[in-house]
């Protein structure tokens, strides 16, 4: 697999409201290329909204998001730029139930126009990467929760994203399995060099990241290096 370099992300004074609810209030943040940043914060503090803005799924009301110096909404085709740069892992895996693990990992490659044999090969190497090569032909219903989430990680990596956004990727898993999924994410970051932004309540994730931030009521409330560094 090629080693994509990490994306440089700048969030510049971004605000976003839903009706009268101010989900984000003037958030500024920089994710350096290859940096792993963990974000905690109470339910409703704006974490998923911030990820959606960085990933180009939502447009900010005010402020800008720049990836590698380019404002994402100013590009002629923001959706395409997003697909080429960003990988998402969500709390629930969102795999397609009728498709095998391998076929799920191939889905983003279809959009990218890869040929069938190349897609197959790439999906297999990604499943190997997450330790699931022997489960390639299993349906999601035939996999454990942790295995499904690892398939979701493989799928998020299919297009060699330079930015991986993970929104409570282990929210539905037990602590041992969570630990494994986080191990996988950090190991992939170390090896592939992508920028990693991960939402988790888990303190140990904050400790393993290069930096940990907390969102409170739509604002960044603290930014600190992990304990012991
Ligand atoms: N599409 C939407 N329409 C209306 N309100 C929304 C929408 N999305 C988010 N909100 C509101 O914005 C605020 C922030 O939501 P967000 O999902 O970003 O929180 P969160 O920190 O991810 O919470 P959780 O930890 O529960 O996932 C909440 O008050 C939420 O109700
Ligand atoms: Mg959320």
Q: Is residue 147 part of a domain?
A: no
The length of the chain is: 229
Of 86, 92, 88, residue with least CA distance to 149:
92
Owner of token pair 């890869």? 114
CATH code for position 65: 3.40.50.300
Q: Which residue has the CA at smallest separation from atom 11 of ligand 1?
A: 23
**Contact partners, residue 31, CB within 8 Å, separation at least 6:** 7, 8, 9, 37, 163, 195, 197
Distance 11 CA to ligand 1 centre (A): 18
Residue nearest to atom 3 of ligand 1 (CA): 18
Give me the pLDDT at residue 222, please: 64
Q: Is the CB of 43 under 6 A from ligand 1?
A: yes
Indicate whether 128 belongs to any domain. Answer: no
Q: Does residue 178 lie within any of the structural domains? A: yes
* 48 pocket-lining for ligand 1 (C-beta < 6 Å): yes
Predicted pLDDT at 225: 53
Amino acid 224: pLDDT: 55
**Ligand 1 pocket, residue 23 CB under 6 Å:** yes
Cβ atoms of 62 and 176 within 8 Å: the answer is no
Tell me which residues of the chain have a pLDDT lower than 50.
1-3, 228-229
Which ligand has the nearest atom to the CA of 50? 1
| CA gap 193, 4 in Å, rounded | 6
Among all bound ligands, the one having the nearest atom to the CA of 166 is: 2
- Taking the C-alpha atoms of residue 36 and residue 15, their distance in angstroms, rounded to an integer, is 23
- The dihedral through the CA atoms of 80, 84, 85, 87 has a sign that is positive
Q: How far, in Å, is the centroid of ligand 2 from the Cα of 134?
A: 32
State the pLDDT at residue 216: 95
Distance 163 CA to ligand 2 centre (A): 18
Distance of alpha carbon 207 from alpha carbon 189, whole angstroms: 15
Query: Considering only CA atoms, which of 117, 98, 119, 95 is closest in space to residue 109?
Result: 119
Domain membership of residue 63 as a residue range: 9-99+161-224
The structure tokens listed for 33 are: 């290329």
In this structure, is residue 219 part of a structural domain?
yes
- pLDDT value of position 61: 96
Question: Ligand 1 in contact with 21 (CB < 6 A)?
Answer: yes
Strand intervals (E) in the chain: 9-18, 21-31, 36-41, 62-67, 70-71, 86-89, 163-167, 195-199, 211-216, 219-224
Ligand nearest to the CA of 90: 2
The count of structural domains within the chain is: 1
Q: Token pair of 27, please?
A: 């958030």
Does the residue 153 lie in any domain? Answer: no
Domain membership flag for residue 113: no
Cα distance between residue 100 and residue 94, in whole Å: 13
| Model pLDDT for residues 155-189, shown as the tens digit of each residue | 998 888 999 999 988 877 788 888 888 988 999 89
Q: What is the pLDDT of residue 228?
A: 45
Residue 119 domain flag: no
Q: What is the pLDDT of residue 223?
A: 59
- Does residue 218 form part of some domain? yes
């Amino acid at each position: 697999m090629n080693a994509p370099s990490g994306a440089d992300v700048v969030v510049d004074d971004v605000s976003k409201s839903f009706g009268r609810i101010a989900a984000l209030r003037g958030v500024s943040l920089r994710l350096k290329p290859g940096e792993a940043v963990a974000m905690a914060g109470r339910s409703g503090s704006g974490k998923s909204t911030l990820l959606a803005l960085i990933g180009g799924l939502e447009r900010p009301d005010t402020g800008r998001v720049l990836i590698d110096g380019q404002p994402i909404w100013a590009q002629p085709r923001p959706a395409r730029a997003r697909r080429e740069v960003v990988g998402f892992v969500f709390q629930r895996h969102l795999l397609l139930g009728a498709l095998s693990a391998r076929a799920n990992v191939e889905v983003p490659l279809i959009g990218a126009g890869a040929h069938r044999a190349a897609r197959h090969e790439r999906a297999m190497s990604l499943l190997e990467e997450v330790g699931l090569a022997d489960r390639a032909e299993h349906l999601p219903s035939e996999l454990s929760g942790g295995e499904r989430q690892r398939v979701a990680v493989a799928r998020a990596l299919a297009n060699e994203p330079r930015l991986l956004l993970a929104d409570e990727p282990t929210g539905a898993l037990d602590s041992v399995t969570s630990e494994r999924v986080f191990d996988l994410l950090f190991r992939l970051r170390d090896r592939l060099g992508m920028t990693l932004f991960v939402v988790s309540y888990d303190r140990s994730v904050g400790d393993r990241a290069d930096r940990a931030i907390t969102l409170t009521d739509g604002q960044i409330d603290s930014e600190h290096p992990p304990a012991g560094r």
